Amino acid sequence: MNMQEYIDEAEKALLHTYNRYQVVLDKGDGVYLYDIEGKKYLDFVSGIAVFALGYNNKEYNDALKAQIDKLLHTSNYYYNVPAIEAAKKLKKVSGMDRVFFTNSGAEAVEGAIKAARKYAYLKDGKTDHEIIAMNHSFHGRTFGALSVTGNPKYREAFEPMIGHIKFADMNDLESVKAKVTDKTCAVILETVQGEGGIHPAEKAFLEGVRGICDEKDILLILDEIQCGMGRTGAMFAWQKYGVKPDIMTSAKALGCGVPVGAFMMTERVAASSLTSGDHGTTYGGNPFAAAAICKVLELYEKEHVLENVNEIAPYLEGKLDSLVEKYDVIETRRGVGLMQGLIFKEPVAPVIQKALENGLILINAGTNIIRLVPPLIISKEDVDHMTEILDSSIKNSI
Ligand SMILES: *Cc1c(COP(=O)(O)O)cnc(C)c1O
């Protein structure tokens, strides 16, 4: 079948929940993807902040193949070595004390919410606790995660959500204070908002929220599913701010292609929160998924991923700023590290379409924002190459 025939088949078989780009991807290598007709694309999306190590990393692939031949799965009623190793490594890089592995980001958020509610329940025996989330946030599509997602469009048709959620504004401490009551059990936010349009938290805001939480014994949940795992130049974005959460979530680049997630907490929270029988998962943290996490964390060190982000990010920012200068239609740039957004004055779909035709994969975050979340191993040459294609795509589409 040719590409169009595959796309037609897809549209007959898959539920239509995505408006997909008209391309069937076949294989990847480094920072490049190839479609089934052999066309090569420079990838500045990395499966939405997933493939941090680039495609077809030999050591990563070999580790997964070896684990397949050994043991793919065992129930969480038994211990397995990769999960033990993955938890130890994750504790070390995060500074958190306890880990629960999930299959996805949304599930990590579900677990984090349950942990916060249980913590509050054990304090007063009540079941009317409130959570404060942010407008323009994104935490996933399952009911708990959707309930704290600050985009009414995503929620409306599926009401009622889980109850007692209030929304405040990111980087507006007063708006958070105004929502705090005696019933507030947690504040949840993305350290850098991703889907909502690349909005980094301001340091004073994050410190302020931490202060409110400390004062009232409210738990701070930081969602690091997109902005974590080195994307901002620190292993987790909050480490850049020096504001430690009580509970945090990770996913996306945590598995670099294998579907995994995790929520983690401090010992203080773990000591009076979820306990035996409160939460579970069949697949979460199985030996295969855990082997992926182990190898990812090992390769981050070995391949100096954070160093590369910190070296390349200012270069990327410079190149993007030159596009902001050059084109009236671009309002500004926002972002941290290799998580950047170009904010346009009009819809960016035509630019992304043109870029795709020109061999560059980009994605939006909202209608007017081009989001750049490339593999974390990109070089300056890759940035130059991207800038060239993006430049001509803007020129020829707007
Ligand atoms: C992608 C994302 C999620 C959801 O993760 P899934 O693996 O798609 O369930 C949650 N929070 C943030 C910040 C994300 O970017």
3-state secondary structure the chain: CCHHHHHHHHHHHCCCCCCCCCCCEEEEEECEEEECCCCEEEECCHHHHCCCCCECCHHHHHHHHHHHHHCCCCCCCCCCHHHHHHHHHHHHHHCCCEEEEECCHHHHHHHHHHHHHHHHHHHHCCCCCEEEEECCCCCCCCHHHHHCCCCHHHHHHHCCCCCCEEEECCCCHHHHHCCCCCCEEEEEEECEECCCCCEECCHHHHHHHHHHHHHHCCEEEEECCCCCCCCCCCCCHHHHHCCCCCEEEECHHHCCCCCCEEEEECHHHHCCCCCCCCCCCCCCCCHHHHHHHHHHHHHHHHCCHHHHHHHHHHHHHHHHHHHHHHCCCEEEEEEECCEEEEEECCCCHHHHHHHHHCCEECEECCCCEEEECCCCCCCHHHHHHHHHHHHHHHHCCC
Q: How far is the CA of 365 from the centre of ligand 1 (A)?
A: 13
CA 251 to ligand 1: nearest atom: 7
All residue ranges of the chain with pLDDT < 70 are: none
Its sign, for the CA torsion 130, 136, 139, 142, is: positive
Q: How far is the CA of 47 from the centre of ligand 1 (A)?
A: 12
CA 140 to ligand 1: nearest atom: 4
Ligand 1 atom 6: residue of nearest CA:
105
Candidate from 226, 227, 258, 281 with most ligand 1 atoms within 8 A of CB, to mutate: 226
Contact 137, 196 (CB under 8 A): yes
Q: How far is the CA of 123 from the centre of ligand 1 (A)?
A: 30
Q: How far is the CA of 240 from the centre of ligand 1 (A)?
A: 21
Q: How far is the CA of 106 from the centre of ligand 1 (A)?
A: 6
Ligand 1 atom 10: residue of nearest CA:
139
Q: How far is the CA of 125 from the centre of ligand 1 (A)?
A: 31
Q: Give the domains, in start order, of the chain with CATH numbers.
A: 3-53+304-395 (3.90.1150.10), 59-302 (3.40.640.10)
Candidate from 252, 263, 336, 339 with most ligand 1 atoms within 8 A of CB, to mutate: 252
Ligand 1 atom 15: residue of nearest CA:
226
What pLDDT was estimated at residue 398?
A: 82
Q: How far is the CA of 348 from the centre of ligand 1 (A)?
A: 22
Ligand 1 surroundings by CB, under 6 angstroms: 104-106, 109, 138-140, 190, 194-195, 223, 225-226, 251-252
What pLDDT was estimated at residue 103?
A: 98
d(C-alpha 231, C-alpha 191), whole Å: 12
Candidate from 138, 149, 151, 154 with most ligand 1 atoms within 8 A of CB, to mutate: 138
pLDDT one-digit tens code per residue, 143-176: 999 999 999 999 999 999 999 999 999 999 999 9
Candidate from 141, 225, 248, 250 with most ligand 1 atoms within 8 A of CB, to mutate: 225
Ligand 1 atom 7: residue of nearest CA:
105
pLDDT one-digit tens code per residue, 307-321: 999 999 999 999 999
Candidate from 139, 142, 281 with most ligand 1 atoms within 8 A of CB, to mutate: 139
